[in-house]
Structure 1
Amino acid sequence: MSDPARRHTLIGMTTAERADLASPDDRSAGAVAPEDEVVRLCADLIRIDSTNPGDGTGPGERAAAEYVMAQLAEVGLEGELLESAPGRANVVVRLEGADPARPGLAVHGHLDVVPANAADWQVDPFAAEERDGCLWGRGAVDMKDMDAMILASIRDFARTGTKPARTTTFVFFADEEAGGTMGSHWLVDHHPQWFEGVTEAVSEVGGYSVTLPTPEGERRAYLLQTAEKGIAWLRLRAHGRAGHGSVPNDENAIVRLAGAIGRIAAHEWPREYIASVRQLLEGVSEITGIRYAADDLEPLLATLGGAQGFVRGTLRDTANVTMLESGYKHNVIPQTASAAVDCRFLPGHERDLMDTIRALAGEHVEVEVVHRDVALEAPFDGDLVESMKQSLLREDPGAAILPYCLSGGTDNKALGRLGITGYGFAPLRLPADLDFAPMFHGIDERVPTSSLRFGARVLSDFLRTC
């Protein structure tokens, strides 16, 4: 069967039916399928501490990158390990597509994780313990689960001798949790040849399910990420007059900083519903039967469970103070005080956000941009989106698939500089009672092992048919 004809046939078939249609070079009897090893791969990756504190003091991604390289080599693939600095490692490998004439695809994950304080957790965050049907550990949802799905799919292509539908560049980035300076942005700046011919990309944070109430009962909906807010990590630095702690001082830098923080915290950012947010709300309303108005979203948002936090963050721009620093002795008034502010803005809002923050900070507080990155918005249509939908529906017929905007950011921002359109598609069918979204950067992060296997099947199917 020719590749185009085979692709057309596969699109309308179930997973089992496609297995029966295996061509001579497809998986042999008894061979390992992606779903058979994805849990092991994820556990192995979690056990590698690749914490990224954002200040250059972490262990780096080198050990995790070497693990990925070894897993590629085991099936005869030669990846390339690229370090932006000692220990800050990225891995890239490209597989030729069944139709090389079609535009290329990038599928990427990141190997770093945010810090985890073991004392706060029920389990060792780097032990990858299986408990209650879940794999626990830092990175289980952000995003060593998706890394494992990607790696399992690559290994399956190599073992079976089959090809993805499109020539696909697979990337395991460093440094996503600190803005991608040592990872995706570095790779785009120094090795853009890896992305030649690539027009679209797939990564986190989308494709996971929420269970919505309906007049007839319940229905799963998968949230496919088509947009993400921009990032502005700022430092507020207040200046004042140093002095003795016992002497009145009307130029206290800490007081000036506190005033700026209070004004920023109290500011009511105006709401604006971008296309992906509007489509999500309309879709949830249609499924649940709950009507809503712009000033009465609470009943609708409540149906989204833990995912409502991500959605609430996309209704407006946001600015949250995350760190404070000032002073060096109890009886000394310092002359400077600083605060870190994490700002996220909707597409087209960056200038307005910065102007607002500077005005709220006041004349004695300077605003420094530590890191910035763009907002993204992609269409919820086209061949790639349709392929993602169909791969999900083949595994979960009757589910709904809705677009949404991520309140955080991904490495798709860096690829966007090359004109690559990015989506979030890390498919997971989740139990209705699992409070999933708050686990991103949270305590007791975990992912159901059944969800990992589901994701491996869906992602592999998507790569074969997209």
Structure 2
Amino acid sequence: MTAAVSDTALLEAETLRIARDLIRIESVNTGDPRTIGDGEARAARLVQSLLEEAGYETHYAESTPGRGNLVARLAGTDASRGALIAHAHLDVVPAEAADWTHPPFAAELHDGFLYGRGALDMKSHTAALVATARAFRREGVVPARDLIFAFFSDEEAGGVWGVRWLIDNRPEWFAGATEAVSEVGGFSVPFGDRRGYLVATAEKGVGRLDVTARGSAGHGSRPTSDNAITRVARAVAAIGEHRFPLEPTTAVEAFARRVSELLGETLTVDDLPAALDRLGIAGPLVAAGLRNTVSPTVIAGGYKSNVIPAEATAQFDVRVVPGAEERLRAEVEALVGQEVELRWDRWIPPIEAAADGPLLDVFASALAAEDPDGVLVPFLMPASTDNKHLARIGVTGYGFVPLRTDADFDAFGHYHAVDERIPLDALAFSVRTTARILRSA
């Protein structure tokens, strides 16, 4: 694969500069509208100015004051092909400065790393997309298909005021789009003496389960047989201690096949739980994608120590693999029986794309050009991205932000963490590989 742009030094330098400028904008998403400022709007306006300076027509909208979203399109050589959405989110999770070695919003460089909230999640990739878009205009690069560069707010709180709002209110901005690429994936992982690059071809669905128990209220000195707190506690224990069965999804099966090739042994989905220790930093990610999970997160009931309450509640975080939604519900209902009420809420279905195909071939070719020893490895991403919302309009999403790092650097482990940082050479690798992908996709 030939280089997408000729001046890679300028491409890399712009990416670093833009990433630092974006990190310095505190676009913190607390999840509470009362405490969210205008950081996302300021970040979107910065991106807008950089793209318009390069000659792009941009579309900007605030879903609610301060929640900025931006889209720009670059025409490709084949208008009959569906457009590719290359997207990133502009918001970041909060950071307690006192816990950090270096200030989280100063974008400082230390020992070959760029430090800051959003350095990995995901202002560095925002910068890579903007720098690539600018380079394509500067050098007259025409991609193989239309590219839609999209920058969303609110991803860290479910995308309600970001991509979901745009789909409902500005659907024409995504006209003709068929595929999308963004987080989470692309970082390198050692498998034995080989280097794999994870690509998310599927994502777990996400939801919330509310459990309510009711009983007879009364004085604490007169125990009741239908105590609501006891009932909800039994339900929490039954669900929280339950180990859901392995789910052999297409993505996990593809992961097992590819890792078998890399390790030189045959691994099936059934073998993966026992092999997690040999998967290194990929182990926790893979473990979370092997089965459904329902985790207790909130429990409440009562208001005074000598009063038996009439009601107690619990909340659970639900993550479900593709194709297992109804099976999960039935399994949970069987665990708790009839003594509590269940309400499934905030349900976003799982998504799954093919674990092979033309776009993944482009990913693999771009990797081969920048890292001849790198191998693409499909996997099931256990968390959630904006690709789920794009699926509502028929867009197939992949998670692939290419990063070559040292074997002991856990890229995903730095998401939302104290001292979030990205190696400078990994950032340079990322934008070079991203430019190759977007030129040929």
Identical amino acids, percent of aligned pairs? 46
Question: Which residue in the other structure is 1:164 paired with?
Answer: 143
Q: Cα offset for 1:434?
A: 0.7
Residues 46, 140 of structure 1: 8 Å contact kept: yes
Does 1:388 pair with 2:363? Answer: yes
Taking structure 2 as the reference length, the TM-score comes to 0.92
Is structure 2 residue 8 aligned with structure 1 residue 37? Answer: no
Q: Which runs of 5+ in 2 are unaligned?
A: none
Displacement of 1:92 after TM fit? 0.9
The one-letter code matched in structure 2 to 1:288 is L
Amino acid at match of 1:363: Q
Aligned length: 439
Contact residue 116 and residue 125 of structure 1 kept, 8 A: yes
Inter-partner Cα distance in structure 2 for 1:325 and 1:393:
53
What residue number does 1:153 align with? Answer: 132
Query: What's the counterpart of residue 429 of structure 1?
Result: 404
TM-score (norm 1): 0.87
- Offset of residue 392 of structure 1: 1.0
Q: Are 2:115 and 2:419, in contact at CA under 8 Å, matched by a contact in 1?
A: yes
Partner letter of residue 39 of structure 1?
L
- SS in structure 1 opposite 2:34? coil
Letter in 1 for 2:31: G
Task: Find out whether 1:234 has 2:209 as its counterpart.
Answer: yes
Question: What CA distance in whole angstroms lies between the structure 1 residues aligned with 2:418 and 2:255?
Answer: 28
Deviation at 1:346, TM superposition (A): 1.2
- Comparing 320-329 and 436-445, the one that deviates more: 320-329
2:241 is aligned, of 266, 275, 298, to: 266
Query: Is contact 2:30-2:36 (8 Å) kept?
Result: no
Deviation at 1:238?
3.3
Three-state SS of the structure 2 residue aligned to 1:305 is helix
What aligned pairs does 1:14-413 form with structure 2 within 5 A after superposition? 15=3, 33-59=10-36, 61-213=40-192, 218-244=193-219, 248-292=223-267, 295-298=270-273, 300-329=275-304, 331-413=306-388
Relative to structure 1, is the Cα distance of residues 49 and 321 closer, same or farther in structure 2, using a 3 angstrom cutoff? farther
Q: State the alpha-carbon separation in 1 of the partners of residues 438 and 104 from structure 2.
A: 31
What is the one-letter code of the residue matched to 1:465?
S
Query: Given residue 114 of structure 1, which amino acid in structure 2 is its aligned partner?
Result: V
State the shift of 1:331 in Å.
Answer: 5.0
Task: Write the distance in 2 (CA, Å) between the matches of 1:403 and 1:412.
Answer: 16
Which residue type is aligned with residue 21 of structure 2? D
Match of 1:453 in 2: 428
Partner residue, 2:391? 416
Deviation at 1:230, TM superposition (A): 1.1
Contact 2:84-2:146 at 8 Å conserved across structures: yes
- TM-superposed CA distance for 1:248, in Å, is 3.3
- Residue 263 of structure 1: CA displacement? 0.6
Deviation string, structure 1 residues 170-220 (Cα, Å, up to 9, x no partner)? 11112222222222222112211111111111111122110121xxxx221
- Kept in 2, the 8 Å contact 1:184–1:414? The answer is yes
How far 1:394 moved relative to its partner?
0.2
Counterparts in 2 of 1:102 and 1:119: CA distance versus 1, 3 Å: same
State the partner residue of 1:6: none
The verdict on how the C-alpha distance between 1:73 and 1:266 changes in structure 2, with shifts beyond 3 A counting, is: same
Residue deviations 1:132-189 (CA, integer Å, cap 9, x gap): 3222222222222221211111122233333322111111112222222222222112
Using the alignment, how far apart are the partners of 2:270 and 2:19 within structure 1? 42
**For the structure 1 residues 212 and 32, does the alpha-carbon distance in structure 2 shift closer, same or farther, using more than 3 Å as the test?**
closer
Counterpart contact for 2:153–2:159, Cα < 8 Å: yes
Measured in 1, the distance between the counterparts of 2:199 and 2:428 equals 19
State how far apart, in whole Å, the 2-side matches of 1:137 and 1:366 are. 44
Say if 2:416 is the partner of 1:441.
yes
SS in 2 for 1:308: helix
**RMSD of aligned residue pairs (Cα, Å):** 2.4
**Alignment-mate amino acid for residue 138 of structure 1:** R
* AA at the equivalent of 1:275: T
Matched letter for residue 81 of structure 1: Y
CA gap of 1:36–1:285, structure 2 versus 1, over 3 A, is same
